[in-house]
Chain A
Amino acid sequence: MAKGKAIDYGLLAGSLILIHMTIFLAIYYVPLVATDVSTIAQNPNDYADYELRVKGVAKDLDVNEFNLIDLGSSDFRVRVIHSGTFPEGFAAGKAVYVTGELIDPQLLTFRSTEIEIAENNESAGWIAPYAQKIFFLHTPSAWVSYLAFGIVFASSIILLIKGGKRWDEIARSSAEIGVVFCTLAILSGPVWAKPEWGVYWRWEDTKLLTTFVLWLVYLGYNALRVGVEREKVARIAAVYGIIGFVAVPLSFVSSRVWQSLHPNPVGQEGAMSLMAGLTLIVGVIALTLLFIYILRKRVEIEKFKHKIEDLKEEIEGGIA
């Protein structure tokens, strides 16, 4: 077996094993962290004359009124009645203490008098704790798309400095794969958001918006290259690849710099259990190996295209 083939099979097998290990660990070993507001919600009349202290996950918090929606036998969600800006430090999944009074026991509607956001990344848990485990493939997908666009950026710089088909092949291939992984991250996010936030998408969320812009930027990069002669567009695409990379750090830091409902546990001490951290690392390694495998195959396709162009030129030259 050729050395290249052996590397390809090794990468594919390794990544597939690790992807399944990630899913297995996420489902069976990562502990569930669920919110608990059910005690109050089960007996609202008992609390009518008292101030309520609700520990739970809220969607918006700059509100005066909110209610608890029955989501099943024991799950309740704090729902916003008046939307507004988010208090500083608020993120989905973070513990929130809302003190308020019951104004309608039938509708489980409360008026808040105090909103407190937990410090030190204390997690209140998740409304849909199983859905939260989507994180272990959603985040690695996003990471691989950042890596792929980073490779487009680096290859584009080298192409402009040194020239050569090779760097254009790598940039073009990496951009296509990056869009595939970015699409998977963008599609898997809303599957989590629906049970957790109650909506599939929030345009006002900076993380979601900047990632969508990132996806559009590299979709544009790929569109630029469709049906246009390679030599003509290679340098223009390289400039696009360099400028477009601005969207990557923007997407990455958006939930850290601006207020966002998007959870942001990576890199925050105490935000994840040891098992969750390990599972995430396995997921990242798995999808990175798969990315390397796909990149090798995709670059090979670009080489084949070059070969076809050369053969066609040879034939045209022969006829002439």
Chain B
Amino acid sequence: MKGLDELYVAYTLIWLGLFVYMVFLHWRQSKLTREIENLKGVVKGHGRKG
């Protein structure tokens, strides 16, 4: 069974690496979506004042 542990380590590394990166992208997207919503609110507010 030479190298079996290393095989699992490498597959886990690749899997986790991709998973963490995708979660990071999702988090970034959510953050930007919230910021857009806030800014849209500000723009609307300015429009009403105008």
B6 close to A183 (CB less than 8 A): no
Q: Which residues of B contact A318 (CB under 8 A)?
A: 43, 46, 50
Q: A180-B21, A298-B25 are in contact. Are A311 and B6 (CB under 8 A)?
A: no
User: Per-residue CB proximity of A71-91 to B under 8 Å, as 1/0?
Assistant: 110010000000000000000
Q: List which B1-50 residues lie within 8 A (CB) of chain A.
A: 1-4, 6-7, 9-11, 13-15, 17-18, 21-22, 25-26, 28-29, 32-33, 35-36, 39-40, 42-43, 46, 50
Q: Which residues of B contact A99 (CB under 8 A)?
A: none
Q: List which A90-142 residues lie within 8 A (CB) of chain B.
A: 126-134, 137-138, 141
B3 close to A129 (CB less than 8 A): yes
A304 close to B17 (CB less than 8 A): no
Q: Which residues of A contact B6 (CB under 8 A)?
A: 128, 130-131, 134, 191-192, 194-195
A187 at the interface (CB under 8 A from B): yes
Q: Which residues of A contact B3 (CB under 8 A)?
A: 126-132, 192, 195-196
Given A23, A34, A183, A312, which contacts B17 in the complex, CB threshold below 8 Å?
A: A183
A202 at the interface (CB under 8 A from B): no
**A34 CA / B29 CA spacing, docked (Å):** 47
**A34 CA / B4 CA spacing, docked (Å):** 13
Q: Which residues of A contact B7 (CB under 8 A)?
A: 27, 130-131, 133-134
Given B2, B18, B29, B39, which contacts A131 in the complex, CB threshold below 8 Å?
A: B2
Secondary structure of the B contact surface, majority rule: helix
**A300 CA / B26 CA spacing, docked (Å):** 11
Residue of A nearest to B6 (CB): A131
**A71 CA / B17 CA spacing, docked (Å):** 30
B2 close to A34 (CB less than 8 A): yes
- Closest chain B CB from A90 CB (angstroms): 21
**A64 CA / B50 CA spacing, docked (Å):** 88
Given B14, B28, B42, B46, which contacts A188 in the complex, CB threshold below 8 Å?
A: B14
Given B13, B17, B26, B50, which contacts A180 in the complex, CB threshold below 8 Å?
A: B17
Q: Which residues of B contact A137 (CB under 8 A)?
A: 10-11, 14
B17 close to A187 (CB less than 8 A): yes
A2 at the interface (CB under 8 A from B): no
Q: Which residues of B contact A187 (CB under 8 A)?
A: 13, 17
Q: Given contact pairs A130-B7, A311-B42, enumerate 13 new A-B contacts (beta carbons under 8 Å).
A: A34-B2, A130-B6, A133-B7, A134-B10, A184-B14, A187-B13, A294-B22, A300-B29, A301-B32, A304-B29, A304-B33, A308-B35, A315-B42
Binding site for B on A (CB under 8 A): 19, 23, 27, 34, 71-72, 75, 126-134, 137-138, 141, 180, 183-184, 187-188, 191-192, 194-196, 290, 294, 297-298, 300-301, 304-305, 307-308, 311-312, 314-315, 318-319
A-B residue pairs in contact (CB < 8 Å), sample of 9: A23-B11, A127-B2, A134-B11, A188-B13, A191-B6, A297-B25, A301-B32, A308-B39, A315-B39
Across the A-B interface, the 3 shortest Cβ-Cβ residue pairs: A131-B3, A128-B3, A130-B3
